Every structure is written in structure tokens, then in C-alpha cells.
Chain A
Amino acid sequence: MNNLRGIYTIWYRDIIRFWRDRMRLVGTITLPLLFLFVFGPGLSTRMGLLGPGIDFAQFIFPGIIGMTVLMSSFMAGVSVVWDREYGFLREVLVAPISRVSVVIGKALGAATVALLQGMIIMLFAPLIGISLSVWTMLALLPLMFLLAISMGSLGVLLATYIRSVEAFQAVMQMLMFPMVFLSGVFFPLEGLPSWMDVLVKLNPATYGIAPIRQVVLGVPPELSVLGHTMTLWENIAVVAMVGTAVILMAMWSFGHQE
């Protein structure tokens, strides 16, 4: 009960802060929209179809949803660094709520904001020539949420080690862009150069993007690891396991900081 209240309070504060700063939304969805409406159509005409009736813009659309969720939730970890810089973290750390609930509250806050941004991108589907049924959209929510909470936890984990906002942003860029580019957001996962193939399959984000694409485009599973084709549920299981490991690590390291 105590923990639930702690989680809720931490989450609620992040949401209030986000709402006060909602112009930030415009900034964070600009990049995905550029990819979608400039990069996509620009290359579509040259590249032809990437699947039965699927052009390049349509192909990257689910990837862009995933990318938006991933980047937004990851970046939310910076709030922990800001809180430390402004001293507010001390107020949180001396409060009679457990460190575990602080981590969960933060990760949930990050996931909520990321989910909202993913949903905004989702609404652009008709402009790309994709029709999403209500059921498809509902099915996407838990997939997006799973990716968001995992990446949000990763952000919190990093933030417990990195003490300055600048350093956090530098490390984030260093990790985030390789994760996005090596995850199949922009290209199909078959026939990659072998060095790249290895990196793509080691990248947890790959397993978060694949099920989103499968659901949005209704294509058969395309990701295979060591000759085994990953089903939707197997992909979800990989993300869930990685996410659980990361959030446990974040709880541990957040609990052990002085």
C-alpha cells in the first residue's frame, strides 16, 4: 500500500511536469515525422515494394512508432539527473517510500509519456496509406508499453551512474542511435552483412520493433535467430526478460546510492 502510494506520487509528479512542458512533445515528434514524411516517400519511389503491397514509407511506419517510444522513454531518465542537479532528489530519497517504488514510478512516468507520443505517431497511419483497425491499435498498446517500460528503466539505470545532464545526453546519444539504426527500423532483417546481422540480433530493441511491425503490417514473422524464426510471443518474451533484468538492476543501483 505504501509502495503503491509512492509509485503513484512519483509517477503523478512526472506527469504534471510533462503537462506543464507539453511543447516538448512538438520537439520530440518532429524527428519521427521527418523520417515518415520526408525520408519515407523520398526513398519509396526508388525502392519499389519491400513486401506484398508495402512500400518503403509503409515499411518503416511501425519502426518509427517503435523508435519514438524507445527514444522518448529512454530520454525520460534524464529527469532523475535533473532532480539530482536541482536537489529535489534529496527530498525523494529521505521520504518514507522505498527506493524500489521510486524506480517503478519513474519508469512508469517515462513509459506513459512515451506511450502518448507513440499513439500520436500511430494517428498518422492513414496518411501513409495504412489502415489500422481499433483492435490493431489496442494490440499495439501493450507492445509499446513493454518497450517503453524497458527503455525507461534503462534510462533510470544510467541516470543513477551519470551525474551531469550533459554526460547523460552524450551517453544516451551514443547508445540510442546505434540501438535504433541496428534494430530493423529502417530495413528488412534478411540478407544483412554478417557483422551487422550479429549486432542486430544482440540488440534488444530489435525484438521490440519486430512484433510492432508484425501487428501493424500483418506480415509473417521475419526475424530469425540461429535459424529459428521468432514468433510474436517469443519476441515479447525476449523484451520482457531484458526489461525485467534492467529494472532490477536499476532498483539495485538506485537503492545503493548514497
Chain B
Amino acid sequence: MADYIIEVENLVKKFGDLVAVNDISFKVAPGEIFGFLGPNGAGKTTTINILCTLLRPNSGRATINGFDVVHQQSQVRQSIGLVFQDPSLDERLSGLQNLRFHALVYNVPSPVREQRIKEMLSMMQLWDKRHSEVRTYSGGMKRRLELARGLLHRPKVLFLDEPTLGLDPQTRNRIWEYILDLRQREGVTIFLTTHYMDEAQKADRLAIIDYGQLIAMDTPEKLKRKVGKDIISVKTADNDKAADEIKRRYQTEIRPDGNELTFSVTNGEEFLPKFIKEFDIKIQSINLRRPSLDDVFLKLTGREIRQEEVRSAFKAMVRQYGRRQRR
């Protein structure tokens, strides 16, 4: 048994002139929840597609469960389960029929097949709806059915590509309960991509990816500690004057953030009372917070992860290139 269930070395994937995945390397230990965090179009899905044998890399190598994703596709496919960003169910079949199809193509042995299907459907609370056509399911039910399907053949690694995209917060929470429960019960390694910070928080280790490059990799806590300082946001009667004042007094960088000023300090709890006492300009509101993954991302890339407009244009480009290549 290898020490790592996923090993990726210097992976590169180009679509025409566009480098979607640029020299990425990482390793994932068995049983880990490993998260890929990055804006849309950063290269997360492209990486997953390479790992699950749907795309061939231009260079570099990757193994899953010890099998090479280019040369041992069949073994790799048997070792992984997938929940895609977009639904991939047969809407005209029932939930049960979808799982039976999956069990057959993944060669789940017939004596345990029905038993396992029942187990998975019950766990995802879909047993009562098993005979209904999937097109009558809600978004959350479909995602749960996909989770059940992804786990049916007892994969070593479960890939979850934006598993809660487009779901309402309640459903997202419930899906996450299932996912965490799954890891407990099945001991499966989970490879997750997301651009939701609260979701990334749940990973044991996170890789931050931007423009196809891996720019940081660590536990969420350590990543946050790297940003280090506490963050203070303050709103005053005269922000321009206040900015000069803060700069002069505390020698710190200031970022205007809407109608607030944001700056970081060490040891925020002690700084705050002192600041309020000695500051001359009228303070309208003040807020102290610990660094979040948003801040980590901002610091590492110089952008907020929510800048979607530019990013989705980039993603559209990747897709376009991808399609052209596929033709």
C-alpha cells in the first residue's frame, strides 16, 4: 500500500495557447479531505478531469491508488467515484435504475449488488423515492443520488467537483453532513474543489490554485496563520484624513474597502481600546476580525475570490478551447 493515494507531479495541461494547469504537484494521504480552492476557471475542474482520465495531460504524471491515469485508465476508473459539477444522471430512469446501471458497469458483484444499492439509497434518504424518475427529483435529491452512486462501488477516492454549487444553504449543509459522515463510515479519501470559503474550511488540507498554478498548500488553520495579523475595519467621519492619520501613527498598510478602511495589526484585542482612546477623528463603527480564508486568498493573489465577471470569462474561454480540441 502506497503512502499516498493520489500523487501528482508537474502536471501541465494546455488548451491551445492557454495553460489551464501549469506545473502542479501535490500528494494526498489516504482518508484525507483534500480541497482545491480557487476562483472559477482557475484550473480545478481541468485537474479533476485529468485525474479521472477524461483528459490527457500534456506533461507530468499522476497516479491514483498507485495506478497511472494515462496508462492504467481502467484501474484508475475502478478506484474512483465522481460527483460532477453538472448533473450526470439519466433523468428518464428511476433512482434505482441509475444505481443498477452504475453497479453493472463498475462490476459490483451480483450477490451484494442489491444489498449495497439499498444501503446507499437509505443512507442518502432516497429509498422511498427509488422508483420515481430522476427528473422528478429536487436539486438536493439529485446531488444525494449522485453521492450514493459515486460510492456504490466502494471507491478509494471520491472526487467532488463543486458538490454544492447551485444548492440553497440548507441543502448545502445537509449534503456536507452526508459527506463528513461518509468519511467516517467508509474511510474514503475525498478530493474536493470549491470556491466557497466555508466549504474549503472543512478540508484537512487545502491547495489554493489560481491561473492554473498552485500558490499555497497547507491546513486551513496554518494558511490563515500565514496571513498572520488580525484585521480591523473602521468607518470614520472623514476616511481620507483617518487613513493618513493611521498610516502616520501605526506605520501600517491601509486598504479602502467600500466606505470602510481596513488594516491589519498584531494582537487586535489589545490594540482596539488603545486605538479608540487616542484616535482624534470621530469613529462611526469599528470591527475586529481574525483572518479568514478570503483574506488568505486576497493576500496570496491580490484579488478577492468573488470577482466572478473576469473569471467566468476566463472559464468560458477554457471551455471553448476544450470543446474545440475535443472536435
Given contacts A86-B90, A86-B91, A258-B325, contact A9 B78 (CB under 8 A): no
Q: Which residues of A are found within 8 Å of B106, using beta-carbon distances?
A: 95-96
CB A158 to nearest CB in B, in angstroms, measures 13
CB B84 to nearest CB in A, in angstroms, measures 6
The CA-CA distance from A9 to B93 in the complex, in Å, is: 14
The CA-CA distance from A96 to B79 in the complex, in Å, is: 9
In the complex, whether B102 has a CB less than 8 A from a CB of chain A is: yes
Q: Which residues of B are found within 8 Å of A6, using beta-carbon distances?
A: 105
In the complex, whether A88 has a CB less than 8 A from a CB of chain B is: yes
Question: How does the 8 Å CB contact mask read for A80-107 relative to B, with 1 for contact and 0 for none?
Answer: 0001001111111111111000000000
The CA-CA distance from A51 to B53 in the complex, in Å, is: 59
- Contact residues of B between 40 and 95, Cβ < 8 Å to A: 52-56, 74-75, 77-78, 80, 82, 84, 86-93
Q: Which residues of B are found within 8 Å of A8, using beta-carbon distances?
A: 104
In the complex, whether A194 has a CB less than 8 A from a CB of chain B is: no
The CA-CA distance from A201 to B78 in the complex, in Å, is: 48
Q: Are B101 and A13 in contact (CB under 8 A)?
A: yes
Q: Are A94 and B92 in contact (CB under 8 A)?
A: no
Q: Are B105 and A97 in contact (CB under 8 A)?
A: yes
The CA-CA distance from A166 to B55 in the complex, in Å, is: 27
In the complex, whether A21 has a CB less than 8 A from a CB of chain B is: yes
The CA-CA distance from A161 to B82 in the complex, in Å, is: 25
Q: Which residues of A are found within 8 Å of B97, using beta-carbon distances?
A: 13, 16
In the complex, whether A228 has a CB less than 8 A from a CB of chain B is: no
The CA-CA distance from A8 to B91 in the complex, in Å, is: 20
In the complex, whether A22 has a CB less than 8 A from a CB of chain B is: no
CB B233 to nearest CB in A, in angstroms, measures 42
In the complex, whether A133 has a CB less than 8 A from a CB of chain B is: no
In the complex, whether B323 has a CB less than 8 A from a CB of chain A is: yes
Q: Are A20 and B104 in contact (CB under 8 A)?
A: no
Q: Are B93 and A96 in contact (CB under 8 A)?
A: no
Q: Which residues of B are found within 8 Å of A96, using beta-carbon distances?
A: 74-75, 77-78, 105-107
The CA-CA distance from A94 to B86 in the complex, in Å, is: 14
Given contacts A95-B77, A258-B56, contact A88 B90 (CB under 8 A): yes
Question: How does the 8 Å CB contact mask read for B201-237 relative to A, with 1 for contact and 0 for none?
Answer: 0000000000000000000000000000000000000
In the complex, whether B327 has a CB less than 8 A from a CB of chain A is: yes
In the complex, whether B326 has a CB less than 8 A from a CB of chain A is: yes
Q: Which residues of A are found within 8 Å of B75, using beta-carbon distances?
A: 96
Question: How does the 8 Å CB contact mask read for A1-30 relative to B, with 1 for contact and 0 for none?
Answer: 010011011001100110011000000000
- Contact residues of A between 123 and 149, Cβ < 8 Å to B: none
Q: Are A257 and B93 in contact (CB under 8 A)?
A: no
- B104 (CB) vs chain A CBs: closest residue: A9
Cβ contact of B326, chosen from A9, A20, A258, cutoff 8 A: A258
The CA-CA distance from A83 to B91 in the complex, in Å, is: 10
The CA-CA distance from A98 to B149 in the complex, in Å, is: 20
Q: Are B56 and A9 in contact (CB under 8 A)?
A: no
Given contacts A5-B104, A6-B105, A96-B77, contact A17 B88 (CB under 8 A): no
Q: Are A5 and B107 in contact (CB under 8 A)?
A: yes
The CA-CA distance from A9 to B99 in the complex, in Å, is: 12
Q: Which residues of B are found within 8 Å of A92, using beta-carbon distances?
A: 105
Residue numbers of A with Cβ under 8 A of B are 2, 5-6, 8-9, 12-13, 16-17, 20-21, 83, 86-98, 161, 163, 257-258
Listed A/B pairs (5) with beta-carbon separation below 8 Å: A20-B92, A90-B82, A91-B88, A91-B102, A93-B54
Chain A to chain B: the 9 pairs with minimum beta-carbon distance, closest first: A87-B88, A96-B77, A95-B105, A9-B104, A96-B78, A91-B88, A90-B88, A96-B74, A88-B90
Residue numbers of B with Cβ under 8 A of A are 52-56, 74-75, 77-78, 80, 82, 84, 86-93, 97, 101-102, 104-107, 149, 322-323, 325-327
* Known contacts A95-B105, A95-B106, A163-B327; 20 further A-B pairs (Cβ under 8 A): A5-B105, A5-B107, A9-B105, A12-B104, A13-B101, A16-B93, A21-B92, A83-B90, A86-B88, A87-B89, A88-B88, A91-B90, A91-B149, A94-B52, A94-B53, A95-B77, A95-B102, A96-B106, A98-B74, A258-B326
